[in-house]
Structure 1
C-alpha cells in the first residue's frame, strides 16, 4: 500500500467519523426546549373522568401534545381532537390528537401542522382559539368523557356569581357565574336547581334592573337544559354585535331572566340583578 493511498484512506475515514458525530449531535439537539403548558380537561358525561392536556415545545419547532386522564375504563379507546372556537360555542375539528388508551389514560402526538396542512407552532397554540374534546369511542363521538378550553380561551381565576331567585315556579332557583378568559371574554354558566327533566328554558340579560323591569333584551344565553339545569354560553358581544366582555359584565346595567319555555316567555322560573345593579 503506497504512502499516498494510506493518507487518502485516513482522510476519508476521518471525514466519515466527523459526519457521523455531527449527525449524532443533531439528533441529540431535537427534543423539548423546556417550555410547556398544561390545560385542564374537565368531566362531561362521567364525573369520575378528568385530566390534563400538556403542550410541549420541541427544538425542531414541533409540538408534543400529551393527554393524561384519570378514571378511564380498561379496554376503552377514546378519540380526541382540538376543535375551533370555545367549548360553549362548538366547532369543527382542527387537529386530530392521539387516541387515549383507557388502560393508561394516556396519549401523545408530535406535530407541527393542523389537519388541513397549515403550520402551527407552540406559541401559536398558546394563543389558539380552540378547545379539546375527548370522546367515548370512535362509534360514539357524541358522548364526551372530557373537555377543556385551550389557548386564548383558557379560563382564568377571575369570576363573578349572581344569584337567581325563584319567581313564578316554586322550587326553581340558581346562579349565573361569569368566568374570565385569557382573551378577556367570559364563560357564562347558568346553574339552576328544580328544573323539570326535558324542559328548555330561554335566558337573557335585559336592560335595567329587576325593580325597573321589563327591559329590552341585550344578551341571549344558550337555553338552560331542564334535565341538567345547566347552560354554558361564551360572552364576547351583545345581541347587537357590540363588544361585551368580562369587564363589561361587572358594570352592565342589567338583570337576568330565565323563562319557562320559548312559548311561555311571560312565565319566569328565575331572575336576578347583574353588574352595577348588585
Structure 2
C-alpha cells in the first residue's frame, strides 16, 4: 500500500554520533565535542520531496543545520525551523537558507530570528520542526521534519483501518513515539474523496462494544488521504503519551464528512 511505503521514513530512528578533538592553546588542551544528529524529512501533500536533516556544531557557530533531499527537484525551496510540531501552527523560529536546485541547504546560526541566543545542546531539546515550501511564490508545504524533543525514537505501532458501510475506504493508523514520550497519530487512507475532509475520532471501547468520543483528531484530507495529529491529551484534558495510546481501550473511526457521520473506516487499537 502506498501509505506504508510513504510513512516508513518518518519512523526512522535518529542517528547520533560523537566526535571529539583536542585544540591546543597556551593554557593547555580544550575538548570540543560534536554530536551530529539526523532526522527524517518526510513528504506531505503527495509531493514526494523527502530527505535528511542534520544538526551539528563547529568551532565558528553554535548550530549548523543541513537539509539534503533524496533527489534534487531542480527548484529552490524555502525552509525554516518552526516552534511546535510540524502539524501544529507554530510561528517561524529560524529562517534557513533555501534548498537549492540540487537539493541541499546549509545554515549556521547562534540565535533565533527574534534575537534569542540558542546553543546546539538547546537545539537538541528544542520543541520544533522544519517545514519546506514549494517555492518563493508558492508557500504550500512539501516536506516536514520533526526535530529536537519532537523527533522520533523509532518506536511505532500500526493498526489496520478496515472499510465500513461498503465505502471503499481503508488504510492504517500509525502511532509514532517522539523523543519526549508523546505521540504522533498518523492516519493514511486509500479511497478517500477529493476535496472532502473526513472527520476522525478516537473512541472509547472496542468496535464491538463502543463508548463515546475520547479524542478529536485532525481530519483526513480526502485529496491526499492523510491526517496527522500530535495527540498529547484527550478531549477531557487527560494527558496521554505514546505508551498510553498503544495500550488504550479504544478504536478509531473515520466519517464521511463534517455533515455526514456515516463511518467509512474503523479499526480497534491498543488493548483491543
Same fold (TM over 0.5): yes
The structure with the largest helix share of the pair is: 1
- In structure 2, the residue corresponding to 1:257 is in which secondary structure? strand
- Residue 73 of structure 1: CA displacement? 3.0
Give the whole-Å Cα distance in 2 for the aligned partners of 1:151 and 1:247: 20
CA RMSD of aligned residues (A): 2.3
Q: Paired residue for 1:268, among 251, 263, 266?
A: 263
Structure 1 gaps of 5+ residues are 1-24
Query: Which structure has the greater CA radius of gyration?
Result: 1
1:69 aligns with 2:69: yes
- In structure 2, the residue corresponding to 1:216 is in which secondary structure? strand
1:118 aligns with 2:142: no
Moved more, 32-41 or 190-199: 32-41
- Residue 71 of structure 1: CA displacement? 2.2
- Residue 46 of structure 1: CA displacement? 5.9
CA contact (8 A) 1:100 1:106 kept: yes
Give the whole-Å Cα distance in 2 for the aligned partners of 1:252 and 1:156: 20
The answer for the alignment partner of 1:243 in structure 2 is: 239
Number of positions where the alignment pairs a residue of Structure 1 with one of Structure 2: 247
User: Deviations 1:164-211 (Å, cap 9, x if unpaired)?
Assistant: 122223321221111111111111111121122222111111111111
User: Deviations 1:201-258 (Å, cap 9, x if unpaired)?
Assistant: 1111111111112x11111110111122211111111111211111011221111111
1:145 aligns with 2:142: yes
The structure with the largest strand share of the pair is: 2
Give the whole-Å Cα distance in 2 for the aligned partners of 1:45 and 1:263: 24
User: Deviations 1:90-129 (Å, cap 9, x if unpaired)?
Assistant: 3210000111111x32222211100011111101111111
Structure 2 gaps of 5+ residues are 1-24
Tell me the TM-score normalised to structure 1 length: 0.82
CA contact (8 A) 2:47 2:143 kept: no
The answer for the alignment partner of 1:7 in structure 2 is: none
Tell me the TM-score normalised to structure 2 length: 0.84
- Residue 136 of structure 1: CA displacement? 1.9
The answer for the alignment partner of 1:198 in structure 2 is: 195
Give the whole-Å Cα distance in 2 for the aligned partners of 1:196 and 1:169: 14
Give the whole-Å Cα distance in 2 for the aligned partners of 1:252 and 1:187: 15
